[in-house]
Amino acid sequence: MHIHILGICGTFMGSLAVLAKELGHRVTGSDANVYPPMSTQLQAQGIELTQGYDPAQLDPAPDLVVIGNALSRGNPAVEYVLNKGLPYVSGPQWLADHVLQGRWVLAVAGTHGKTTTSSMLAWVLEHAGMSPGFLIGGVPQNFGISARLGGTPFFVVEADEYDSAFFDKRSKFVHYRPRTAILNNLEFDHADIFPDLAAIERQFHHLVRTIPGDGLIIHPQGEAALQRVIEMGCWTPVQTTGDGGQWQARLLHDDGSRFEVRFDGVAQGVVEWELTGQHNVANALVCLAAARHVGVVPELGIAALSAFMNVKRRMEKVAEVRGVTIYDDFAHHPTAIATTLDGLRKRIGGARLIAIVEPRSNSMKLGAHRDGLPESVVQADHVFWYAPANLGWDLAATVASSTVPTTVCDSLEQIIAAVTALATPGTQIVVMSNGGFGGLHGKLAEVLAK
């Protein structure tokens, strides 16, 4: 079968393409922006990519068109599909029908940490010899690919609350029907499709309604929004993590790089790994709980986590030039920015820390999180904010109250010149964006090298 994917370079759709290819289909696709890591992964898989949405790419007609949720009415390719009566489906529906059917699905949902936690969980199962399938919205470095079918019934999926398609406004995760579900945390996000937090909580409850009575739901004890979700009705056993929960961590190092795991008050072992931050310690606990549900004893899970390599673009060290270290991080929300910088600060102590932030997510562009931005960067020594002409709100006015030295720039060249002037040996630079950021990381490294 020839499957053509519209919006193929999104992390979810790119992973879907890999699975479809592995199932033996001929897969092609197109996107408005073709950039790594998804573009390079797809090209390595021999998947043909087209830039843009010219309807000519759909002639001769494919057997099926999978339409990504970034596309809407008015898109020339979408209009062609509808006018010609071509068969089409949303990505989550295709995944449910052709991959997840009859499998033990382990779903990882939440505002933050989905990609990292899904990667951890897939790796823990792999380390235990369970050869899971997975679909992850990033590239886990332990695997080097974002999706695979796997050799057993177990399948780990990053369960996003974003909508499925222009014709299906349910959250993606409603399609997945997991037996093991992690609800990692819940805050307001996706302001382009949700009016408020209550609307997201309702979608999370739709997910809870699909989990069988002999399944398991795992969530942190202290999350008020998730507690409200469970109180709407729950028919499944629940395990909790964190302070007051069944699964707890005792930090042996402030930065979270070493901690003891306890289950029901009994020590299970010590995780010692490359990751930092309280958020990753929390991710590890829910991961170990989910792995135990499918038969991985905590001791084995802890050994796996100690060998876990973080996902690409999650505090990924991309360059070290003349003593200056550059990291790439996906942080797209004030909470994610704050926890990431806090983890790094605890690791590097008093070394100079420069953050470069692009408010690029749909919610950020709408200004939904702007009040939280000044406070999110307090662990940095200097922050550079990128404010392109089309941002739509006054970023400079928003961050003017920041207690950290702050520079707002309207071009990459301006950022590079200013950062280069500030950076001295030992400086740590974190570039935070959920997009390609115009190749800023590489350009900055080049200039620093000179």
Distances from the Cα of 375 to the Cαs of 40, 185, 333, 337, 371, in angstroms?
36, 20, 12, 10, 8
**CA R_g for the chain:** 22
DSSP-derived pairing of the beta strands 2-6 and 64-67: parallel
Task: Report whether pLDDT(448) > 90.
Answer: no
Residue 281, classed as helix, strand or coil, is helix
In DSSP terms, which residues pair with 258 in a beta bridge?
272
Please enumerate in sequence order all residues whose Cβ is within 8 A of that of 389, keeping only pairs 6 or more positions apart, or say none: 410
Residue 343 CB neighbours (<10 A)? 23
Give the pLDDT band (50/70/90) at residue 326. very high
Count CA atoms closer than 13 A to 315's CA, side-chain side.
Answer: 22
DSSP-derived pairing of the beta strands 258-263 and 266-272: antiparallel
CATH of domain 102-305: 3.40.1190.10
Task: Report whether pLDDT(21) > 90.
Answer: yes
DSSP 96: I
Q: Which of 213, 236, 226 has its CA nearest to residue 187?
A: 226
What backbone phi and psi angles, to 5 degrees, belong to 267?
-65, 135
More confident residue, 445 or 212: 212
Task: Report whether pLDDT(446) > 70.
Answer: yes
| Span 182-222, pLDDT tens digits | 999 888 776 677 788 899 999 999 999 999 999 999 999 98
| Span 271-320, pLDDT tens digits | 999 898 898 999 999 999 999 999 999 999 999 999 998 776 777 888 89
pLDDT at 139: 84
134, 147 contact by CB (below 8 A): yes
- Rounded CA gap, 288 and 159, in Å? 18
Domain boundaries, the chain: 2-91, 102-305, 316-449
Residue 295 CB neighbours (<10 A)? 11
Please enumerate in sequence order all residues whose Cβ is within 8 A of that of 416, keeping only pairs 6 or more positions apart, or say none: 440, 443, 444, 447
Tokens standing for residue 253 = 């190092």
pLDDT at 368: 66
CATH of domain 2-91: 3.40.50.720
More confident residue, 41 or 60: 60
Tokens standing for residue 85 = 């009566």
Residue 243 CB neighbours (<10 A)? 10
Q: Which of 274, 256, 162, 181 has its CA nearest to residue 219?
A: 181
Please enumerate in sequence order all residues whose Cβ is within 8 A of that of 6, keeping only pairs 6 or more positions apart, or say none: 29, 30, 31, 53, 65, 66, 67, 68, 71, 75, 77, 78, 81
| Span 66-118, pLDDT tens digits | 999 999 999 999 999 999 999 999 999 999 999 999 999 999 999 888 999 99
Give the pLDDT band (50/70/90) at residue 389. confident
- Rounded CA gap, 161 and 197, in Å? 12
Tokens standing for residue 449 = 């090298």
pLDDT at 371: 80
- Rounded CA gap, 55 and 174, in Å? 31
Count CA atoms closer than 13 A to 279's CA, side-chain side.
Answer: 23
**Overall fold of domain 316-449:** Protein-Tyrosine Phosphatase; Chain A (3.90.190)
Task: Report whether pLDDT(169) > 70.
Answer: yes
| Span 221-260, pLDDT tens digits | 989 999 999 999 999 999 999 999 999 999 999 989 999 9
Q: Which of 167, 177, 161, 47 has its CA nearest to residue 103?
A: 177
Count CA atoms closer than 13 A to 261's CA, side-chain side.
Answer: 28
Give the pLDDT band (50/70/90) at residue 362. low
What backbone phi and psi angles, to 5 degrees, belong to 26?
-85, 125
Supply the mean pLDDT for the chain: 91
